[in-house]
Amino acid sequence: MPRKNQPLKPGEKILFTVAGAFVVFAIIAYIIMQVVISNSDKPLFEVKTTANLSAEGQQGSYLFRTNGCTTCHRALRNGTNMGQTADLDGIGSRRTMQWMFAFLQDPEKNYPSKTIDHAPGERSAAYVARMPKQELHAIAVFLSELKSEQGSSSAPIPPKGDSPFIDSMVKTWAPKEWKEKYRDVRDDPEAFKRANEAAAQEMTQP
């Protein structure tokens, strides 16, 4: 004989009620957020990346958008957000134009480990390496002009000024002698420049 459905226990009813309330609250909060975004002239989050494109950089931007690069990557807030290396905004502060030009021509040779998206194969972006060098150079110039400001997620230095989270972490975990030994890079104007130069040269080391 078919088993009759057992009635929910009081604890199970409370659990499902709380879970349902969270789902409803999340949906309402999402709708409110979308309404606020659509009616606001200001971005929801502060933009910390810049792009002062040259003539060749503008050509590279066009080539980037029309050759399928936005299928796997994102630049100037156009494209996909999928993947750790998808967002290229600010990459010009981490890689030199020469390195990116070399990578686009031969990814497997110029990357320290085996690539996935640009590896040889029918479903990969290996076709990029077969594009004319002039076009690859324009794309490399475009990417090199995507800069990150201090405090952006792609920048090597935290934002200027006090940060409750950073300050609390330093206070909790950093040894006291660090305050005397090390300088706070957040308010050091040269530190951001040095960190960008170091990050840009990182992949060029043998």
Q: Which domain covers residue 89, as residue numbers?
A: 50-206
Same domain, 93 and 76: yes
Please give the pLDDT value at position 114: 76
In Å, how far are 47, 82, 197, 201, 203 from 113, measured between CA atoms? Answer: 31, 20, 22, 17, 11
Same domain, 81 and 20: no
Contacts of 83 (CB under 8 A, 6+ apart): 72
Residue range 97-124, pLDDT digits in tens: 999 999 999 888 887 777 777 777 656 6
- Residue 85 pLDDT grade (very low, low, confident, very high; cuts 50, 70, 90): low
Q: Is residue 66 part of a domain?
A: yes
Q: Is residue 182 part of a domain?
A: yes
Give dist(CA 108, CA 154) in Å, integer. Answer: 24
Same domain, 73 and 32: no
